[in-house]
Amino acid sequence: MISKLINEIVKKDAPIVVGLDPMLSYIPDFVKADAFAKYGETLEGAAAAVWEYNKAIVDAVYDLIPCVKPQIAMYEQFGIPGLLVYKNTVDYCKKKGLVVIGDVKRGDIGSTSAAYATAHLGTITVGANTFAPFDEDFATVNPYLGSDGVKPFIDVCNANDRGIFLLVKTSNPSSGEFQDRLIDGCPLYERVAEKVCEWGSLSMDGDYSNVGCVVGATYPEMGRVLREVMPKAYILVPGYGAQGGTADGLKPYFNEDGLGAIVNSSRGIIAAYKKEPYLSRFGEKGFADAARQAVIDMKNDINGAVFGR
Amino acid sequence: MISKLINEIVKKDAPIVVGLDPMLSYIPDFVKADAFAKYGETLEGAAAAVWEYNKAIVDAVYDLIPCVKPQIAMYEQFGIPGLLVYKNTVDYCKKKGLVVIGDVKRGDIGSTSAAYATAHLGTITVGANTFAPFDEDFATVNPYLGSDGVKPFIDVCNANDRGIFLLVKTSNPSSGEFQDRLIDGCPLYERVAEKVCEWGSLSMDGDYSNVGCVVGATYPEMGRVLREVMPKAYILVPGYGAQGGTADGLKPYFNEDGLGAIVNSSRGIIAAYKKEPYLSRFGEKGFADAARQAVIDMKNDINGAVFGR
């Protein structure tokens, strides 16, 4: 699956992923009003607003980007109706030719990890029939439980040509509380990175592995080290834009082949219309066009700073 | 919320929790046949089988136990129909007077962690209305992302009288890969335990905190140390029975007040009918009665070994 993602990144000349993380506060009032008129001020109404919002944004940007990353928490907060829209969003994006990273940060052990892997990347057999429950292309996975938690995901990846991104160094300010602590002179995140290499060797797909990792854009010096520790792992980079990561700081996340990293932006794209310069130009009614312009700007920003083009 | 759980544990003289982790292979064929006849060999059919199975087990054991712990992965693997049964199971157990621990092992940062907390322990406002999406009493949480990931859960716990159990030392064989690595002479799990104490002080409820922890029954020596490091944290103990943890090994997890730990068994209870001595006595048709007997046996085993009664 990583080779498919790479093909799309190269084809669209855009090492970027749009995070579909819809807060109700991001959704324009007129979209919410329409949805509430149809379904009431209910979880169904909120979910319907998310769905219309997502569709409009995906329609506006899908030709520019290789990949989207819906954050399942933002759907789970609307209960079952929200999760139904998560599923519909995954399906809609795949129909539009997009690679879908389910940002689910699941992680458990043994048969439980296998059940999560089945839910998001695999298939389940019921009697004579087989179903793909959520059917994302990639999922994010938490490594704290070790190999027992990760290998069931890799088995499902290998059976279904899918991939995972393991949390190594997250973008948040407190990520260092555990991740930066030194173990035999090396921070925990490097110890996790060493295991990412080991696990990654179990699912190679061309020059890269289906086992990638997450390293925040907010820590470029650590990104430089981790790029060297995990040469075959694609790095999913959150934290660009709204969280403070800059395009200049992204260079160390890429390999010399110009590949190896894909940079996420969520609210910087999907809520672009709420801030200048997009607000004046597009307004609330133009939220999807604002998202498109923000994607173009992000692509130019990163391609300029990282590749000088 | 921890004081409510403690009251129920004392009232029922049972420091135990039944894990409602339904694999399709655990469910008796006649239950599946009924469900498939109504809904087909579909995700809906599988979910209907899980629902009937859960209801029968809960009906058979609710008067003996304080608490259940549905593992959401086992429902998520059946997609939306599975998650609907998860929600219905939570509601049904609460109606029966049981405390519900959602074993969701969620964990993210900032607004995303807040969204998970809202989904499982909080409420969300849509227009003029407020909803509790999944409405568990406790949730399990992964600590790898640090305070930014945990504090949004604590805020929601404090606003809604709920609690969390943070993963400290998990029961699986490979849990040591990261959790046992030494940081300044102490294993990572102790560093996490220190933070559990700090976070726990933000949500005290009587003698204990609404911030509990998970320490596997398979590591009693570590349990002894962690009990001392976190005197105010209730310990949720997985790994008893099927995973190899013994009742004799559970003593160190309890405080001198006889409180401080609650021991989980999942397949040892819900699939008891598949193994001797329950198979001969109850058979497949008696799966719920077998679960009841297995609860009685577990309670006697633990109360005998830990408290000598």
| Tens of pLDDT, residues A188-236 | 999 999 999 999 999 999 999 999 999 999 999 999 999 999 999 999 9
Least confident of A87-101, A131-145, B81-95, B240-254: B240-254
pLDDT band at residue A132 using 50, 70 and 90 as cut-offs: very high
Task: Identify the pLDDT of residue B242.
Answer: 76
Cβ contacts of A113 on chain B, cutoff 8 Å: 73
pLDDT at B309 over 90: no
Q: How far apart are CA B169 and CA B143, in angstroms?
A: 11
Pairing verdict, β B129-131 and B124-126: antiparallel
* Mean of the per-residue pLDDT values of chain A: 97
How confident is the model over A172-200, as a mean pLDDT? 95
Q: State residue A309's pLDDT score.
A: 84
| pLDDT at site B198 | 98
- State the smallest CA–CA distance between residue B281 and chain A in angstroms: 28
CA B219 to chain CA centroid, nearest Å: 18
The 10 Å Cβ neighbour count of residue A155 is 16
- In this complex, the residue of B73, B119, B131 whose CB is nearest that of residue A112 is B73
User: What is the pLDDT at residue B120?
Assistant: 98
A73 neighbourhood in chain B, CB within 8 Å? 106, 108, 112-113, 115-116, 119
Which listed CATH number (1.10.3720.10, 3.90.700.10, 3.40.50.300, 3.20.20.70) goes with B2-307?
3.20.20.70
Q: Which residues of A touch B83 (CB under 8 A)?
A: 80, 83
Reported as type and span, the H/E element at residue A114 is helix A110-121
| Confidence category of residue B245, pLDDT binned at 50, 70, 90 | confident
Q: What is the largest CA-CA distance in chain A?
A: 60
Q: Which chain B residues are closer than 8 Å to A178 by Cβ?
A: 143-144, 146, 188, 191-192, 195
Put simply, the answer to whether A134 touches B79 (Cβ < 8 Å) is yes
Would you place residue A243 in the very low, low, confident or very high pLDDT band (cuts 50, 70, 90)? confident
Q: What is the mean pLDDT of residues B255-279?
A: 97
Single out the residue of A148, A150, A185 nearest to residue A167, CA to CA: A150
The pLDDT score that the predictor gives to residue B220 is: 92
Looking at residues A37-41, what average pLDDT do you find? 98
CB contact under 8 A, B144 and A147: no
- Is residue B192 exposed (0-12), middle (13-18) or buried (19+ Cβ within 10 Å)? buried
Tell me A113's DSSP state: H
In this predicted structure, the answer to whether residue B244 has a pLDDT above a threshold of 90 is no
B216 residue type, one letter: G
Residue A242 has pLDDT above 90, yes or no: no
b (16+ CB within 10 A) / e for B3-15: ebbbebbeebebb
For position B127, what pLDDT does the model report? 95
What is the predicted pLDDT for the residue at A241? 84
Chain B residues in contact with A112 by the CB 8 A cut-off are 21, 71, 73-74
Contact at CB, A181 and B176, closer than 8 angstroms:
no
Q: Are B113 and A182 a contacting pair at CB < 8 A? A: no
Of the candidates A24, A105, A174, which has its C-beta nearest B108's C-beta?
A105
Residues 6+ apart with CB under 8 A from A298: A16, A240, A241, A263, A265, A268, A269
Per DSSP, the residues of B192-222 read: HHHHHHHHHGGGEETTEESEEEEE-TT-HHH
Residues of B labelled as active-site residues? 105
Confidence of residue B241 (pLDDT cuts 50, 70, 90): confident
pLDDT band at B23 (very low <50, low <70, confident <90, very high): very high
Residue A176: phi, psi to the nearest 5? -75, -15
| Residue whose C-alpha is closest to residue A26's, from A297, A304, A288 | A288
Distance, CA of B211 to CA of B201 (rounded, Å): 8
Q: What's the ipTM?
A: 0.97
Supply the pLDDT for residue B144.
95
Task: Kindly determine whether residue B43 and residue A126, on different chains, have CB atoms separated by under 8 Å.
Answer: yes
Instruction: Write down the pLDDT at residue B160.
Output: 98
CA distance B301 to chain A (A): 26
pLDDT by residue (tens digit) across B148-178? 999 999 999 999 999 999 999 999 999 999 9
Q: Give the pLDDT score at A245.
A: 86
Buried/exposed code over B119-143 (b: 16+ C-beta within 10 A; e: otherwise): bbbbebebeeeebebbbbbbbbbbb
pLDDT digits (tens, 9 = 90+) for B180-229: 999 999 999 999 999 999 999 999 999 999 999 999 999 999 999 999 99
Q: What pLDDT does B210 receive?
A: 98
> Known catalytic residues of A?
105
Say if the Cβ atoms of A87 and B77 lie within 8 Å. Answer: no
pLDDT digits (tens, 9 = 90+) for B6-20: 999 999 999 999 999
Mean pLDDT in residue range A34-57: 98
Could A131 and B184 be called an inter-chain contact, meaning their C-beta atoms sit closer than 8 Å? no
- Give the rounded percent of residues in chain B with a pLDDT score beyond 70: 100
Helix (H) or strand (E) holding A18: strand A16-20
Euclidean distance between CA atoms B97 and B95, whole angstroms: 5
- Residue A244: the pLDDT is 83
Classified as helix, coil or strand, B86 is helix
Question: Above 80 in pLDDT, residue B108?
Answer: yes
Cβ proximity of B57 and B291 under 8 Å: yes
Over the stretch A254-266, which tens digit does the pLDDT of each residue have?
999 999 999 999 9
